[in-house]
């Protein structure tokens, strides 16, 4: 399944990859034409009991395909998933250890297919939508929405534009005075713990959270496909706290708590984030509009991938 609008995807790249994969598997190529199309194709792949689904595109197309294949939940009839990176970040593919370059990644996948290498990975669920890598409420979702506007205007999604858009959102657009979010987690003894006064929340299903060019950004370095969900949130949005948080993202050390300004949860099977006003929401790098509540859950061993 090919997303022709993905950042680094071109007809030439598609031709090369199709030729290479066709030597190993009986391949049918389908090009997505609109938002949600990949979800329908994922459902069809499950209905037709296909052995494997290969995606070429960014995290958005992989997310849609997986939501289609898992429309009736995980099970042995769900096709094996292989993904070739073709977007700007490709967090899921790179978290699996695949090269960023689509041709090199195809070569790696061919070697893995020949040896039968595969693994099961856990996935997150946000308000009944599956996600592979991350989700977020607040400024990261605001930046994604702004970047989608840039792409619609014909501007490339470069690391420099992401950085400039983030700075513009931080200093000029986002509300840094009135925290709208609260998070409630389930404790092992059955009770709940509530944290209020949050400005943003990043939820990770794997590490890193995302990439800025080739550099990983990793607020929750312990996040893994083999554990449940991690959350990173901020109580304050002043420049000092933002600098500490940025250092943590860039270093991936997990250190720095800005005197209580940072909240970090690890290995959470379920929690809810609520908002006192509509806030921007994103899943796997795709804007989901605004929301006032998201219920997060984790499902272990949700899907098998070539890895």
Question: Following DSSP, what letter does each residue of 72-126 receive, concatenated?
Answer: T-S-TTSPEEEEEE-SS--HHHHHTT--SSHHHHHHHHHHHHHHT--EEEEEEEE
Please indicate, yes or no, whether residues 49 and 140 belong to a single structural domain of this protein. no
Please indicate, yes or no, whether residues 158 and 219 belong to a single structural domain of this protein. yes
Query: 220: domain CATH number?
Result: 2.60.200.40
Which of 82, 117, 152 represents a domain boundary (last residue)?
117
Tokens 């991350």 sit at which residue? 134
* Chain mean pLDDT for the chain: 91
Q: How many domains are there within the chain?
A: 2
Which structural domain range is residue 153 located in?
A: 134-301
In a domain? residue 273? yes
Distance CA 108, CA 54 (A): 13
Please indicate, yes or no, whether residues 110 and 147 belong to a single structural domain of this protein. no
Using one digit for the tens of pLDDT, what is the confidence trace for 29-58?
Answer: 999 999 899 999 999 999 999 999 999 999
Please indicate, yes or no, whether residues 209 and 280 belong to a single structural domain of this protein. yes
Using one digit for the tens of pLDDT, what is the confidence trace for 160-206?
Answer: 898 899 999 989 889 999 999 999 998 878 888 899 999 999 999 99
In a domain? residue 129? no
Is the predicted pLDDT of residue 256 greater than 70, yes or no?
A: no
Please indicate, yes or no, whether residues 139 and 113 belong to a single structural domain of this protein. no
Query: 67: domain CATH number?
Result: 3.40.50.10330
What local confidence, expressed as pLDDT, does residue 189 receive? Answer: 83
In a domain? residue 4? no
Is the predicted pLDDT of residue 255 greater than 70, yes or no?
A: no
* Nearest to 42, CA basis, from 26, 62, 21, 22: 62
Please indicate, yes or no, whether residues 168 and 96 belong to a single structural domain of this protein. no
Using one digit for the tens of pLDDT, what is the confidence trace for 258-293?
Answer: 456 899 999 999 999 999 999 999 999 999 999 999
In a domain? residue 124? no
Using one digit for the tens of pLDDT, what is the confidence trace for 85-100?
Answer: 988 889 999 999 999 9
Please indicate, yes or no, whether residues 98 and 144 belong to a single structural domain of this protein. no
End-to-end CA distance of the chain: 18
DSSP class of residue 170 equals I
What local confidence, expressed as pLDDT, does residue 258 receive? Answer: 46
* Length of the chain (residues): 307
Q: Which two tokens stand for residue 264?
A: 């970090």
pLDDT mean over 239-249: 85
Q: Count Cβ atoms below 10 Å from residue 181 Cβ, excluding itself.
A: 24
Which of 90, 117, 144 represents a domain boundary (last residue)?
117
Which of 86, 117, 148 represents a domain boundary (last residue)?
117
Say which residues have a Cβ less than 8 Å from residue 114's Cβ, sequence separation at least 6: 24
Distance CA 125, CA 299 (A): 8
88 close to 298: Cβ distance less than 8 angstroms: no
Distance CA 281, CA 296 (A): 13
Please indicate, yes or no, whether residues 159 and 55 belong to a single structural domain of this protein. no
205 close to 123: Cβ distance less than 8 angstroms: yes
Please indicate, yes or no, whether residues 161 and 276 belong to a single structural domain of this protein. yes
Helix, strand, coil distribution of the chain in percent, nearest 5: 30, 35, 35
Tokens 């034409």 sit at which residue? 33
In a domain? residue 25? yes
């Amino acid at each position: 399944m090919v997303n022709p609008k993905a950042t680094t995807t071109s007809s030439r790249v598609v031709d090369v990859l199709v030729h290479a994969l066709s030597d190993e598997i009986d391949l049918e190529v389908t090009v997505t034409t609109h938002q949600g199309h990949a979800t329908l194709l994922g459902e069809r792949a499950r209905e037709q009991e296909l052995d494997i689904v290969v995606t070429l595109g960014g995290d958005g197309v992989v997310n849609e395909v997986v939501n289609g294949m898992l429309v009736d939940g995980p099970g042995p009839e769900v096709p094996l998933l292989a993904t070739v990176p073709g977007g700007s970040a490709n967090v899921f593919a790179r978290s699996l250890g695949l090269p960023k370059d689509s041709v090199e990644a195809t070569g790696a996948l061919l070697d893995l297919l020949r040896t039968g290498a595969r693994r099961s990975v856990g996935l997150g669920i946000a308000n009944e939508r599956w996600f592979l890598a991350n989700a977020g409420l607040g400024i990261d979702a605001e930046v994604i929405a702004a970047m989608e506007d840039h792409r619609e205007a014909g501007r490339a999604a470069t690391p420099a534009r992401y950085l400039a858009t983030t700075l513009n959102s931080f200093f000029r657009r986002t509300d840094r005075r009135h925290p709208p979010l609260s998070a409630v987690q389930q404790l092992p003894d059955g009770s709940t713990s509530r944290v209020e006064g949050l400005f943003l929340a990043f939820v990770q299903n794997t590490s890193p959270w995302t990439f800025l060019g080739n550099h990983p950004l990793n607020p929750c370095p312990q996040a893994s496909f083999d554990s449940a969900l991690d959350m990173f949130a901020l109580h304050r949005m002043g420049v000092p706290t933002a600098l500490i948080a940025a250092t943590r993202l860039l270093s991936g050390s997990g250190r720095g708590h800005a005197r209580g300004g940072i909240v970090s949860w690890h290995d959470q099977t379920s929690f809810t984030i609520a908002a006192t006003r509509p806030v921007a929401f994103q899943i796997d790098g795709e804007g989901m509009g605004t929301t006032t509540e998201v219920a997060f859950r984790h499902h272990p061993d949700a899907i098998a991938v070539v890895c």
